Amino acid sequence: MSQSPSPLPSTAAAPHAVRPPGALVIEIEGVTKLYQMGEETIRALRGVSLKIRRNEYLAIMGPSGSGKSTLMNMLGCLDTPTSGHYDFTGKHVAEMDDDELAGIRNREIGFVFQTFNLLPRSTALHNVELPLIYAGVGRAERLSRAREALEHVGLGDRVHHRPNELSGGQRQRVAIARALVTRPSIILADEPTGNLDSKTGVEILALFEQLYAQGNTLIVVTHEEDVARHARRIVRLRDGLIESDQTIAESGTRNAD
């Protein structure tokens, strides 16, 4: 039986340790994205190139209209480029059909949304097992893995609670457990603390710190500097282009990549 995780470390106590990056998981090169709004053409991305490796903790930042949401949708295989190349674990995304893309989204990418996106009438356990149902995993195994994921985020005693019986922080932990349950290549989090109070946000960031220390690959899209500073690399977008790509040393200082 899985043991409950140790208490989450505080963000103040956790060192800014950097894990060595692993194999290349995402490579985009010269990616553009155009949207047609009536007679106007919106250039959301204007030739973005980016490589992300396993074991990285990356924050993507930018003001409204910078292209960060478009880039997030691209990385999550929710949208496709107008031009350029996107390889996910060495496979060309443009050559995948709808079923292959759905498989990538379900098995390889764990999504964490600002609004949690939980089924309100379902228990935490059922919400977490949903990706495994779509993946065709047998009932016994998916229930076991869903319980393990909930224990992993400190909610082993809340498996039968519905979202309205949980706090905002607990609902976000359920969403994170759901993202983890498929054992994905990356966890893609969109403004994960945006709907949380400051104290609960700190707890979620401490959980991300723990997940990173355990070998997970994290990509966090945020407009908050305080959230981005917990990452080990910060990519800043402006006007559809990468303005800067910086790594953060263990001392917490930033260095140009």
pLDDT at 248: 83
Q: How confident is the model at residue 4, as a pLDDT?
A: 36
In CATH, the number for domain 24-252 is 3.40.50.300
Which tokens hold the place of 95? 């050559």
In the chain, where the domains are located: 24-252
pLDDT at 19: 87
| pTM, 2 dp | 0.88
Residue-by-residue pLDDT tens, the chain, 257 positions: 333 333 333 333 344 788 888 999 999 999 999 999 899 999 999 999 999 999 999 999 999 889 999 999 999 999 999 999 999 999 999 899 999 999 899 989 999 998 899 999 999 999 999 999 988 999 999 999 999 999 999 999 999 999 999 999 999 999 999 999 999 999 999 999 998 999 999 999 999 999 999 999 999 999 999 999 999 999 999 999 999 999 986 545 444 44
Task: Provide the pLDDT for residue 250.
Answer: 55
pLDDT value for 249? 66
Dihedral of the alpha carbons of 65, 67, 73, 76, in degrees to the nearest 10: -140
Tokens of 238: 């402006």
Among residues 25, 165, 39, the alpha carbon closest in space to that of 108 is found at 25
The dihedrals phi and psi of 250, each to the nearest 5 degrees, come to -60, -25
Q: Name the 3-class secondary structure at 179.
A: helix
Question: What single letter denotes the amino acid at residue 172?
Answer: Q
Looking at residue 235, its pLDDT comes to 97
